[in-house]
Amino acid sequence: MCGFGDSITDDLQSWFEILRHLLDIRRPGNGITLVNAGISGETTSQMIGRFIRVVDLQPEWIFCFAGTNDARRHGNQASELMVTPSESERNLKALRKYAATQTSAKWIWMTPASIIEEQYAAFTLAQPLQIMYRNADLTPIVEIIREMNDDPVVDLNALFGVPPPKEYLQIDGLHPSLAGQKAIVTEVIRILTS
């Protein structure tokens, strides 16, 4: 299994690491290997460039949790998205096609979760970097992934709701807390077993 994503996957207490520990406890003799291929801060454009490493692993499952950083804005005016929705859609489709033509992996989409905008805007580490996230910018990416209905979708935006429960997010209002990560892995397991 491969967890392909950004900082929400690339966290030592992420949903993917929790899943790893659950499988170690519940299915220790099955020899299931999990590879965390999350890299903090990456957009879907950047993820395409390193997807060959995932292909080389030839995993049986790929969980694609991408798109949050596409909705990132930089600067005092913060007028431009890192990646436009049409580019995000093209990139996500390219990743899926890449996997379909070069692996036999089962694919699972994961939508970006909602954030608490005011909390992120007030976060002391985000302010000097002039970074901004908005739920309205995440919505088109969520919709794009929801429409990729040839594969299962773990809809974290629906799970978290808008606005999300405060206990689901860290102090930055963007990254899931341990409670949020547990909610994510619970939903992943629900989708896998339904």
Question: What residue segments make up the domains of the chain, in order of their start?
Answer: 2-193
Place of tokens 């077993």: 193
Can you tell me the mean pLDDT for 112-141?
91
What pLDDT digit, counting tens, does each position of 30-48 carry? 889 999 999 999 999 999 9
What pLDDT digit, counting tens, does each position of 82-116 carry? 999 999 999 999 999 999 999 999 999 999 999 99
Instruction: Quote the tokens at residue 119.
Output: 């909390």
- pLDDT tier at 58, thresholds 50, 70, 90: very high
Exposure class string for 28-41: b at 16+ Cβ within 10 A, else e: eeeeeebbbbbeee
Closest residue by Cα to residue 150 from 98, 96, 101: 96
CA distance 118 to 145: 25
Place of tokens 């709701």: 161
CB 144 within 8 A of CB 102: no
The reported pTM is: 0.93
Q: In the predicted model, is pLDDT for residue 121 greater than 90?
A: no
Can you give the pLDDT at residue 78?
A: 66
Query: Does the 2-193 domain belong in CATH 3.40.190.10?
Result: no
Output the 3-class SS for 143-167: HHHHCCCCCCEECHHHHHCCCCCHH
Q: In the predicted model, is pLDDT for residue 74 greater than 70?
A: yes
